A and B are shown apart, each in its own frame.
Chain A
Protein backbone atom coordinates (compact mmCIF):
# COMPACT_ATOMS: atom_id res chain seq x y z
CA UNK A 1 0.00 0.00 0.00
CA UNK A 2 1.24 3.45 -0.94
CA UNK A 3 1.68 5.75 2.05
CA UNK A 4 -0.26 8.99 2.10
CA UNK A 5 1.42 12.21 1.11
CA UNK A 6 1.19 14.93 3.66
CA UNK A 7 0.73 17.82 1.23
CA UNK A 8 -2.91 17.00 0.53
CA UNK A 9 -5.80 16.46 2.95
CA UNK A 10 -5.64 12.82 4.04
CA UNK A 11 -9.42 12.36 3.97
CA UNK A 12 -9.41 13.20 0.25
CA UNK A 13 -6.64 10.66 -0.36
CA UNK A 14 -8.68 8.01 1.46
CA UNK A 15 -11.69 8.89 -0.72
CA UNK A 16 -9.53 8.64 -3.84
CA UNK A 17 -8.28 5.25 -2.71
CA UNK A 18 -11.82 3.93 -2.23
CA UNK A 19 -12.91 5.33 -5.59
CA UNK A 20 -9.94 3.77 -7.34
CA UNK A 21 -10.81 0.41 -5.77
CA UNK A 22 -14.39 0.80 -7.01
CA UNK A 23 -13.24 1.61 -10.55
CA UNK A 24 -10.76 -1.27 -10.58
CA UNK A 25 -13.52 -3.59 -9.33
CA UNK A 26 -11.52 -4.50 -6.21
CA UNK A 27 -14.66 -3.25 -4.52
CA UNK A 28 -17.98 -4.02 -6.20
CA UNK A 29 -21.56 -3.13 -5.40
CA UNK A 30 -22.39 -4.67 -2.03
CA UNK A 31 -18.76 -5.16 -0.92
CA UNK A 32 -18.45 -4.50 2.81
CA UNK A 33 -16.20 -1.69 4.02
CA UNK A 34 -14.01 -2.30 7.09
CA UNK A 35 -14.84 -0.39 10.26
CA UNK A 36 -13.48 3.09 10.92
CA UNK A 37 -11.23 1.69 13.61
CA UNK A 38 -9.83 -1.06 11.40
CA UNK A 39 -9.17 1.35 8.55
CA UNK A 40 -7.55 3.88 10.89
CA UNK A 41 -5.15 1.22 12.11
CA UNK A 42 -4.50 -0.12 8.63
CA UNK A 43 -3.77 3.35 7.24
CA UNK A 44 -2.15 4.58 10.49
CA UNK A 45 -4.30 7.69 10.49
CA UNK A 46 -6.72 9.40 12.79
CA UNK A 47 -10.12 7.65 13.09
CA UNK A 48 -11.92 10.99 12.62
CA UNK A 49 -10.14 11.40 9.28
CA UNK A 50 -11.39 7.96 8.15
CA UNK A 51 -14.88 8.81 9.38
CA UNK A 52 -14.86 12.02 7.38
CA UNK A 53 -13.70 10.24 4.20
CA UNK A 54 -16.39 7.56 4.52
CA UNK A 55 -19.13 10.12 5.24
CA UNK A 56 -18.11 12.12 2.18
CA UNK A 57 -18.17 8.95 0.05
CA UNK A 58 -21.66 8.27 1.40
CA UNK A 59 -22.73 11.80 0.61
CA UNK A 60 -21.49 11.33 -2.96
CA UNK A 61 -23.42 8.07 -3.16
CA UNK A 62 -20.55 5.58 -3.52
CA UNK A 63 -21.09 4.04 -0.08
CA UNK A 64 -24.14 3.39 2.03
CA UNK A 65 -24.59 2.21 5.57
CA UNK A 66 -27.45 0.66 7.43
CA UNK A 67 -27.86 -0.98 10.76
CA UNK A 68 -28.01 -4.59 9.58
CA UNK A 69 -25.31 -4.58 6.90
CA UNK A 70 -22.88 -1.97 8.20
CA UNK A 71 -21.16 0.09 5.53
CA UNK A 72 -20.98 -1.21 1.98
CA UNK A 73 -20.36 -0.13 -1.62
CA UNK A 74 -23.50 1.19 -3.28
CA UNK A 75 -22.09 2.28 -6.63
CA UNK A 76 -23.92 0.60 -9.54
CA UNK A 77 -22.56 0.07 -13.08
CA UNK A 78 -23.56 3.55 -14.26
CA UNK A 79 -21.87 5.22 -11.31
CA UNK A 80 -18.72 3.15 -11.83
CA UNK A 81 -18.59 4.21 -15.49
CA UNK A 82 -19.10 7.85 -14.55
CA UNK A 83 -16.42 7.58 -11.90
CA UNK A 84 -14.03 5.96 -14.36
CA UNK A 85 -14.53 8.82 -16.81
CA UNK A 86 -14.10 11.38 -14.08
CA UNK A 87 -10.82 9.85 -12.89
CA UNK A 88 -9.59 9.47 -16.45
CA UNK A 89 -10.39 13.10 -17.27
CA UNK A 90 -8.59 14.19 -14.12
CA UNK A 91 -5.46 12.12 -14.79
CA UNK A 92 -5.27 13.07 -18.47
CA UNK A 93 -5.69 16.73 -17.63
CA UNK A 94 -2.86 16.44 -15.09
CA UNK A 95 -0.73 14.68 -17.68
CA UNK A 96 -1.44 17.33 -20.32
CA UNK A 97 -0.65 20.16 -17.90
CA UNK A 98 2.66 18.49 -16.97
CA UNK A 99 3.56 17.86 -20.63
CA UNK A 100 2.69 21.40 -21.67
CA UNK A 101 4.78 22.82 -18.86
CA UNK A 102 7.89 21.25 -20.40
CA UNK A 103 6.82 22.10 -23.95
CA UNK A 104 5.78 18.68 -25.27
CA UNK A 105 3.31 18.90 -28.17
CA UNK A 106 0.21 16.77 -28.73
CA UNK A 107 1.82 14.37 -31.20
CA UNK A 108 4.88 13.56 -29.13
CA UNK A 109 2.67 12.90 -26.12
CA UNK A 110 0.46 10.55 -28.16
CA UNK A 111 3.53 8.76 -29.46
CA UNK A 112 4.81 8.38 -25.91
CA UNK A 113 1.50 7.03 -24.65
CA UNK A 114 1.40 4.51 -27.49
CA UNK A 115 5.00 3.46 -26.93
CA UNK A 116 4.40 3.01 -23.21
CA UNK A 117 1.36 0.83 -23.81
CA UNK A 118 3.38 -1.30 -26.24
CA UNK A 119 6.22 -1.66 -23.78
CA UNK A 120 3.82 -2.77 -21.05
CA UNK A 121 2.59 -5.41 -23.49
CA UNK A 122 -1.11 -4.68 -23.35
CA UNK A 123 -1.55 -2.68 -26.50
CA UNK A 124 -4.58 -3.72 -28.50
CA UNK A 125 -6.02 -1.04 -30.68
Chain B
Protein backbone atom coordinates (compact mmCIF):
# COMPACT_ATOMS: atom_id res chain seq x y z
CA UNK B 1 0.00 0.00 0.00
CA UNK B 2 2.85 2.40 0.87
CA UNK B 3 6.16 1.63 -0.78
CA UNK B 4 9.23 3.80 -0.22
CA UNK B 5 12.46 3.13 -2.09
CA UNK B 6 15.81 4.86 -1.71
CA UNK B 7 14.33 7.97 -0.13
CA UNK B 8 16.81 10.78 0.59
CA UNK B 9 16.06 14.27 1.81
CA UNK B 10 18.45 17.09 2.67
CA UNK B 11 17.91 20.42 4.35
CA UNK B 12 20.88 22.30 2.92
CA UNK B 13 23.92 20.35 4.05
CA UNK B 14 22.01 18.41 6.69
CA UNK B 15 20.79 15.02 5.62
CA UNK B 16 17.35 14.47 7.18
CA UNK B 17 16.60 11.09 5.58
CA UNK B 18 19.17 8.65 4.27
CA UNK B 19 18.26 5.79 1.93
CA UNK B 20 14.93 4.95 3.56
CA UNK B 21 13.27 1.79 2.23
CA UNK B 22 9.92 0.77 3.69
CA UNK B 23 6.99 -1.34 2.65
CA UNK B 24 3.81 -0.79 4.69
CA UNK B 25 0.85 -3.14 4.38
CA UNK B 26 -2.84 -2.46 5.13
CA UNK B 27 -4.40 -3.76 8.33
CA UNK B 28 -1.42 -2.78 10.45
CA UNK B 29 -0.77 -0.26 13.20
CA UNK B 30 2.82 0.86 12.82
CA UNK B 31 4.84 2.88 15.31
CA UNK B 32 7.32 5.33 13.86
CA UNK B 33 9.80 5.86 16.67
CA UNK B 34 12.87 8.01 16.97
CA UNK B 35 14.24 10.81 19.12
CA UNK B 36 13.71 14.45 18.21
CA UNK B 37 15.41 15.29 14.94
CA UNK B 38 15.56 11.70 13.66
CA UNK B 39 13.46 12.47 10.59
CA UNK B 40 9.99 11.28 11.67
CA UNK B 41 8.14 14.46 10.79
CA UNK B 42 10.14 14.91 7.58
CA UNK B 43 9.13 11.43 6.43
CA UNK B 44 5.50 12.09 7.36
CA UNK B 45 5.47 15.43 5.55
CA UNK B 46 6.86 13.78 2.41
CA UNK B 47 4.15 11.09 2.52
CA UNK B 48 1.54 13.82 2.82
CA UNK B 49 2.90 15.78 -0.14
CA UNK B 50 4.04 18.73 1.98
CA UNK B 51 7.71 18.39 0.98
CA UNK B 52 8.53 17.71 -2.64
CA UNK B 53 12.29 18.21 -2.91
CA UNK B 54 13.41 14.68 -2.14
CA UNK B 55 15.15 11.91 -4.06
CA UNK B 56 13.73 8.43 -4.27
CA UNK B 57 10.62 6.59 -5.23
CA UNK B 58 7.35 6.62 -3.30
CA UNK B 59 4.18 4.78 -4.28
CA UNK B 60 0.96 5.06 -2.32
CA UNK B 61 -1.78 2.74 -3.56
CA UNK B 62 0.31 2.33 -6.70
CA UNK B 63 0.53 6.03 -7.47
CA UNK B 64 2.93 8.88 -6.85
CA UNK B 65 2.25 11.31 -4.00
CA UNK B 66 -0.42 13.71 -5.20
CA UNK B 67 -4.15 14.32 -5.28
CA UNK B 68 -4.92 10.58 -5.16
CA UNK B 69 -2.77 9.89 -2.09
CA UNK B 70 -3.96 13.03 -0.33
CA UNK B 71 -7.55 11.84 -0.63
CA UNK B 72 -6.57 8.47 0.89
CA UNK B 73 -4.64 9.81 3.86
CA UNK B 74 -6.13 11.26 7.02
CA UNK B 75 -3.29 13.22 8.57
CA UNK B 76 -2.82 14.60 12.07
CA UNK B 77 0.08 17.08 12.01
CA UNK B 78 2.28 17.62 15.05
CA UNK B 79 1.09 21.21 15.33
CA UNK B 80 -2.24 22.97 15.34
CA UNK B 81 -3.19 23.81 11.79
CA UNK B 82 -6.65 25.17 12.45
CA UNK B 83 -6.88 28.97 12.55
CA UNK B 84 -7.39 30.25 16.09
CA UNK B 85 -10.41 32.41 15.33
CA UNK B 86 -12.27 29.44 13.94
CA UNK B 87 -14.86 27.71 16.06
CA UNK B 88 -15.03 23.94 16.25
CA UNK B 89 -18.21 24.08 14.16
CA UNK B 90 -16.44 25.97 11.40
CA UNK B 91 -13.67 23.36 11.35
CA UNK B 92 -16.22 20.55 11.12
CA UNK B 93 -17.90 22.41 8.25
CA UNK B 94 -14.54 22.68 6.45
CA UNK B 95 -13.76 18.98 6.90
CA UNK B 96 -17.20 18.05 5.58
CA UNK B 97 -16.57 20.23 2.58
CA UNK B 98 -13.01 19.02 1.91
CA UNK B 99 -13.26 15.28 2.51
CA UNK B 100 -15.97 13.10 1.02
CA UNK B 101 -15.11 10.35 3.53
CA UNK B 102 -15.77 12.59 6.55
CA UNK B 103 -18.44 11.07 8.80
CA UNK B 104 -20.15 13.89 10.69
CA UNK B 105 -22.23 11.68 12.96
CA UNK B 106 -19.06 9.97 14.16
CA UNK B 107 -17.53 13.38 14.82
CA UNK B 108 -20.57 14.35 16.94
CA UNK B 109 -20.21 11.12 18.95
CA UNK B 110 -16.51 11.79 19.51
CA UNK B 111 -17.19 15.34 20.69
CA UNK B 112 -19.46 13.92 23.39
CA UNK B 113 -17.03 11.19 24.39
CA UNK B 114 -14.06 13.55 24.53
CA UNK B 115 -16.17 16.19 26.32
CA UNK B 116 -15.48 18.91 23.77
CA UNK B 117 -17.65 21.89 22.94
CA UNK B 118 -17.61 22.62 19.21
CA UNK B 119 -19.04 26.11 19.70
CA UNK B 120 -15.81 27.15 21.32
CA UNK B 121 -13.17 29.02 19.27
CA UNK B 122 -9.98 27.03 18.67
CA UNK B 123 -7.79 29.67 20.35
CA UNK B 124 -9.75 29.44 23.61
CA UNK B 125 -9.21 25.66 23.82
CA UNK B 126 -6.42 24.32 26.03
CA UNK B 127 -3.52 22.47 24.39
CA UNK B 128 -5.00 19.12 25.36
CA UNK B 129 -8.46 20.09 24.07
CA UNK B 130 -7.01 21.25 20.73
CA UNK B 131 -5.19 17.94 20.32
CA UNK B 132 -8.30 15.94 21.14
CA UNK B 133 -10.41 18.04 18.80
CA UNK B 134 -8.01 17.59 15.89
CA UNK B 135 -7.69 13.88 16.56
CA UNK B 136 -11.50 13.61 16.49
CA UNK B 137 -11.58 15.34 13.10
CA UNK B 138 -8.89 13.06 11.70
CA UNK B 139 -10.44 9.85 13.08
CA UNK B 140 -13.87 10.82 11.74
CA UNK B 141 -12.66 10.27 8.21
CA UNK B 142 -13.11 6.79 6.78
CA UNK B 143 -9.65 6.81 5.30
CA UNK B 144 -7.43 3.99 4.01
CA UNK B 145 -4.35 5.50 5.64
CA UNK B 146 -4.11 7.39 8.92
CA UNK B 147 -0.90 9.19 9.73
CA UNK B 148 -0.76 10.60 13.24
CA UNK B 149 2.26 12.71 14.15
CA UNK B 150 2.76 12.58 17.94
CA UNK B 151 -0.93 12.17 18.88
CA UNK B 152 -0.20 11.81 22.60
CA UNK B 153 2.66 14.27 22.93
CA UNK B 154 0.81 17.12 24.58
CA UNK B 155 -1.71 15.42 26.83
CA UNK B 156 -1.56 14.09 30.37
CA UNK B 157 -1.33 10.31 31.02
CA UNK B 158 -5.05 9.98 31.82
CA UNK B 159 -6.03 11.59 28.53
CA UNK B 160 -3.55 9.36 26.70
CA UNK B 161 -5.63 6.32 27.50
CA UNK B 162 -8.73 8.08 26.17
CA UNK B 163 -6.89 8.96 22.98
CA UNK B 164 -5.67 5.40 22.47
CA UNK B 165 -9.21 4.12 22.95
CA UNK B 166 -10.46 6.70 20.47
CA UNK B 167 -7.90 5.55 17.91
CA UNK B 168 -8.66 1.83 18.46
CA UNK B 169 -12.42 2.37 18.34
CA UNK B 170 -12.42 4.42 15.20
CA UNK B 171 -9.71 3.31 12.84
CA UNK B 172 -10.68 1.14 9.95
CA UNK B 173 -9.12 -2.33 10.54
CA UNK B 174 -8.21 -2.60 6.87
CA UNK B 175 -6.31 0.66 6.84
CA UNK B 176 -2.73 1.55 7.61
CA UNK B 177 -2.27 3.47 10.82
CA UNK B 178 1.15 5.09 11.11
CA UNK B 179 1.79 6.75 14.48
CA UNK B 180 4.94 8.67 15.27
CA UNK B 181 5.93 8.94 18.90
CA UNK B 182 8.77 9.18 21.33
CA UNK B 183 6.53 8.08 24.22
CA UNK B 184 6.78 4.41 23.36
CA UNK B 185 5.85 2.76 26.63
CA UNK B 186 2.46 4.49 26.68
CA UNK B 187 1.46 3.22 23.29
CA UNK B 188 3.48 0.14 22.36
CA UNK B 189 0.65 -2.26 23.22
CA UNK B 190 -1.36 -1.11 20.21
CA UNK B 191 1.40 -1.53 17.61
CA UNK B 192 1.75 -4.41 15.15
CA UNK B 193 5.22 -3.35 14.17
CA UNK B 194 7.69 -0.55 14.85
CA UNK B 195 10.13 1.40 12.76
CA UNK B 196 13.16 2.84 14.56
CA UNK B 197 14.51 5.91 12.84
CA UNK B 198 17.96 7.13 13.84
CA UNK B 199 19.56 10.19 12.27
CA UNK B 200 17.44 9.73 9.17
CA UNK B 201 18.11 6.02 8.75
CA UNK B 202 15.84 3.05 9.37
CA UNK B 203 17.55 1.01 12.11
CA UNK B 204 14.82 -1.57 12.41
CA UNK B 205 11.36 -2.44 11.12
CA UNK B 206 9.95 -5.45 12.94
CA UNK B 207 6.85 -7.05 14.42
CA UNK B 208 6.63 -5.98 18.10
CA UNK B 209 5.80 -9.40 19.57
CA UNK B 210 8.71 -10.88 17.60
CA UNK B 211 11.00 -8.26 19.16
CA UNK B 212 9.71 -9.01 22.67
CA UNK B 213 10.20 -12.72 22.04
CA UNK B 214 13.70 -12.33 20.61
CA UNK B 215 15.05 -9.93 23.23
CA UNK B 216 12.85 -10.54 26.27
CA UNK B 217 12.51 -6.78 26.45
CA UNK B 218 9.85 -4.20 25.86
CA UNK B 219 10.02 -2.10 22.72
CA UNK B 220 10.61 0.89 24.99
CA UNK B 221 13.71 -0.76 26.53
CA UNK B 222 15.05 -1.72 23.12
CA UNK B 223 14.52 1.83 21.96
CA UNK B 224 16.51 3.16 24.91
CA UNK B 225 19.35 0.76 24.04
CA UNK B 226 19.44 1.64 20.35
CA UNK B 227 19.34 5.37 21.05
CA UNK B 228 21.60 5.50 24.11
CA UNK B 229 23.63 8.70 24.07
Contacts and interface: CB of A to CB of B under 8 A. Distances in A.
Nearest to B212: A9
Contacts of B168: 40-41, 44, 47
Interface residues of B, number: 26
Interface in B152-192: 161, 164-165, 168-169, 173, 185, 188-192
Contacts of B220: 6
Contact of A48 (B161, B185, B192): B192
A4 B189 contact: yes
A6 B212 contact: yes
A45 interface: yes
Contacts of B29: 46, 48
Contacts of A10: 189, 208-209, 212
B26 to A, nearest CB: 12
B212 A8 contact: yes
Contact of B221 (A7, A9, A45, A48): A7
Interface in A29-58: 40-41, 43-49, 52
B219 to A, nearest CB: 7
Contacts of A9: 209-210, 212-213
A45 B192 CA distance: 9
Given A41-B165, A44-B165, A47-B168, A6 B209 contact: no
B27 interface: yes
A11 interface: yes
Contact of A11 (B169, B173, B188, B209): B209
Interface string B190-225: 111000000000000000111011001111110000
Interface string A82-106: 0000000000000000000000000
Given A48-B28, A52-B209, 12 more contacts: A5-B218, A6-B188, A7-B216, A9-B210, A10-B208, A12-B209, A41-B168, A41-B169, A44-B165, A44-B190, A46-B191, A48-B27
29 contacts: A6-B185, A6-B218, A6-B219, A7-B212, A7-B217, A7-B221, A8-B216, A9-B209, A9-B212, A9-B213, A10-B209, A10-B212, A12-B209, A40-B168, A41-B165, A41-B169, A44-B168, A45-B189, A45-B190, A46-B29, A46-B189, A46-B191, A47-B168, A48-B27, A48-B28, A49-B189, A49-B192, A49-B209, A52-B209
3 A-B pairs with the lowest CB-CB distances in the bound complex, closest first: A6-B218, A9-B209, A45-B189
